[in-house]
């Protein structure tokens, strides 16, 4: 059974390869590749996503610094006044300090999760939009094949890189489609 599957995979691969060669031999065959990371980084939508991520990150960083300074102040007070406090009052302050430290660690963890989720949300949205834009771009420019640079391409002549054109098409598409919303 394994031999049969292996043989079928080899035959399928050879058929696909020969079909690709026959298409490539035709004068109408047009292909290109895109650098998806470049498109996402340099497009206007990518810039907007970066700005929103940075704004949220800055807000979280501000809250983090505020909480850190509160903890440092509590620790300093505990160390300076600790000997003068009654054992019960000292224990109360230490418990309060430990609670702040736990809350801080939870806040850091939640903030990291929030940023990852936000990044995933922007990435998912952009990939969905780029799928539509790439299809429209490919059809409009009569491509039979568009490949993603990091999906198995080891070498390709830069003449076939259409990333910059796709960035322009994506920016134009986004300007048109995001105004409707």
Q: Give domain status of residue 118, yes or no.
A: yes
Number of domains in the chain: 1
pLDDT (0 to 100) of residue 17: 52
Q: Give domain status of residue 15, yes or no.
A: no
pTM above 0.75, yes or no: no
Average pLDDT over residues 137-161: 89
Query: In sequence order, what are the residues at sequence separation of 6 or more whose Cβ sits closer than 8 angstroms to the Cβ of residue 74?
Result: 93, 96, 97, 100
Residue 57 has pLDDT above 80, yes or no: yes
Q: What is the pLDDT of residues 127-137, one digit of tens each?
A: 999 999 999 99
Q: Give domain status of residue 134, yes or no.
A: yes
Q: Give domain status of residue 17, yes or no.
A: no
Q: Give domain status of residue 4, yes or no.
A: no
pLDDT (0 to 100) of residue 6: 60
Q: Give domain status of residue 36, yes or no.
A: yes
**Which range marks the domain in which residue 153 is found?**
28-180
Q: Give domain status of residue 82, yes or no.
A: yes
State the pLDDT confidence band at 31, using cuts at 50, 70 and 90: confident
Q: Give domain status of residue 55, yes or no.
A: yes
């Amino acid at each position: 059974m394994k031999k049969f599957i292996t043989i079928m995979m080899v035959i399928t691969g050879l058929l696909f390869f020969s079909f690709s060669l026959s298409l490539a031999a035709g004068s109408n065959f047009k292909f290109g590749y895109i650098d998806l990371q470049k498109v996402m980084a340099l497009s206007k939508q990518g810039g907007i996503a970066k700005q929103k991520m940075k704004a949220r990150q800055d807000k979280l960083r501000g809250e983090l610094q505020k909480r850190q300074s509160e903890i440092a102040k509590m620790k300093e007070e505990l160390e300076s006044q600790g000997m003068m406090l009654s054992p019960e009052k000292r224990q109360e302050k230490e418990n309060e300090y430990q609670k702040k430290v736990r809350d801080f660690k939870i806040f850091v963890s939640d903030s990291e999760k929030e940023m990852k989720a936000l990044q995933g949300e922007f990435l998912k949205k952009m990939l969905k939009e780029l799928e539509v834009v790439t299809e429209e771009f490919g059809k409009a420019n009569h491509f039979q094949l568009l490949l993603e640079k990091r999906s198995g391409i080891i070498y390709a002549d830069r003449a076939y890189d259409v990333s910059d054109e796709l960035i322009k098409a994506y920016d134009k598409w986004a300007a048109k489609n995001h105004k409707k919303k």
